[in-house]
Amino acid sequence: MYKLVHYSIPFELTFLYAEEIAKNSRSGMSGMVTVQDQIQADWDNRELIQVITTSIMRIAHFLNNFDMSARSRLAQLNEKLTTLERKIEYLEARVSGEDLNRTQPTEA
């Protein structure tokens, strides 16, 4: 079975990222990205991560369903093959038994 592991960003990294945003906004350097732009980019990244996570979960769900379906069908096929093998063994035994009866001389 496939398992999906959820990773989250540690609080310390989130705090450092927020601190970096604050530093950049205080510096007031020209050409710097505004806090709103950084927040928007962060939301866009989070949305992308959510889409990827959802897609991975769907793939894992599909693979699990496919695995169960394939195992079930293979088990059914195995049962049918076992039944056919038993029938063949029975018929072979019957045919070889009849051959033995034909080759034995009968006493009159």
Can you tell me the distance from the alpha carbon of 96 to that of 88, in angstroms, rounded to the nearest whole number? Answer: 12
Percent of the chain with pLDDT over 90: 53
HSE-up of residue 70 (Cα within 13 Å, Cβ side): 7
Place of tokens 């035994």: 93
In this prediction the pTM is 0.51
pLDDT digits (tens, 9 = 90+) for 46-91: 999 999 999 999 999 999 999 999 999 999 999 999 999 999 999 9
Residue 4 host element (H or E): none
